[in-house]
Amino acid sequence: MIDVNAYLGHFAFRQLRYNTAGGLLRLMDRAHIEKAVVSSAAAITYRNAQSGNEEVFGEVKNHRDRLIPFAVLNPAYADWQHDLKVCREEFGMRGLRLYPNWHGYKLTDSRCLELVHAAAAHRLPISIPFRVEDRRQQSWLVDIPNVEPREAAALARAVPEARFIFGNTSGLAASELGRGDNLPANYSIEISLLTALLTNEIGALLRSLGEDRILFGSGMPFHYPEGAVAKLEVLDAPAGVKEKIARGNAKGLLGL
């Protein structure tokens, strides 16, 4: 399996275990996850997100066969162009991770569009988690709303040549993003918070978006990875489709 939604480093509001490269690899072995896309949890609240990218670069450098680093960039912060260049050329980072509501910008701001165009030019996929934590458990210090699906849809429409991963989200099936109506097929949905039984959101998205646009992700080490694994296990879908979700689609998107 390839997990497109994993983190390294500290998070400001809760202790994370397994948040070093060694710890995450133990978690991955336990859940039979072969490779994981990782980005900095600390960069979510660092003012200068690049420090988090440097930390991740240091953590993964001896584990590049299994840990695939993405850069957390903030287009509202000074010098992101330089950070992008360093992350891509020196750190070998394979994609970007954006936190618009934590970093204080809109996905359709001109600053963000400039960054997304730059990522597209370098064929870097852009991962956007719609939330970091369940909003009910946020610290008294913050009040960060989830990313609105319609904002993500507007971004997908604005930059059709970019490739997006939308994750840490649920309830999309009836939305514009979930239906794919009049939107370019330039985004995939990650499953960590989707249902596989009863309301079966994964099944609904497979029907509307197709089997090539659903990706396995767990949110580890914020989350137990076993919940996401269980979703794939009980999903009522042919083995070939599960294989695509588990790794095939991610391999294509990440160029592995």
> Of 11 and 57, which has the nearer Cβ to other proteins?
11
Q: Provide the 10 A C-beta neighbour count for residue 246.
A: 22
Can residue 214 be called a binding residue for other proteins (CB under 8 A)? no
Give 209's Cβ-side CA count (13 Å radius).
Answer: 31
Site string for other proteins, 62-91 (x = CB under 8 A): ------------------------------
Residues 160-179 that bind other proteins (CB under 8 A): 170
Burial class of residue 64 (count of CB atoms within 10 Å of its CB; 0-12, 13-18, 19+): exposed
Q: CA neighbours within 13 Å on the CB side: how many for 5?
A: 32
Q: Does 15 bind other proteins (CB under 8 A)?
A: yes
Which residue from 89, 134, 161, 181 is in contact with other proteins, where contact means CB under 8 A?
Answer: 134
What angle do helix axes 110-121 and 149-158 make, rounded to 10 degrees? 60
CB of 140 to other proteins, least distance (A): 4
Please, which residue, 15 or 182, has the CB nearer to other proteins?
15
Three-state secondary structure string covering 102-157: HHCCCCCCHHHHHHHHHHHHCCCCEEEECCCCCHHHCCCCCCCCCCCHHHHHHHHH
Determine the interface stretch with other proteins among 54-62, 65-73, 176-184, 231-239 (rule: CB under 8 A): 231-239
Among 125, 217, 221, 248, binds other proteins (CB under 8 A): 221
Residue 239 as a binder of other proteins (CB under 8 A): the answer is no
Q: Half-sphere exposure (CA, 13 Å, Cβ side) for 242?
A: 13
Is residue 226 a contact residue for other proteins (CB under 8 A)?
A: yes
> 52, 95, 225, 248: which one contacts other proteins (CB under 8 A)?
225
Q: CB-wise, 24 or 37, nearer to other proteins?
A: 24
Report the half-sphere exposure of 185 (CA within 13 A, side-chain side).
9
Q: How far apart are CA 214 and CA 217, in angstroms?
A: 10
CA–CA separation, 249 vs 197, rounded Å? 22
> In the bound complex, what is the minimum distance in angstroms from residue 200's beta carbon to other proteins?
9
Q: Binding residues for other proteins, per CB under 8 A?
A: 14-18, 30-31, 134, 136-140, 143, 170, 192-193, 195-198, 219-231, 233-234
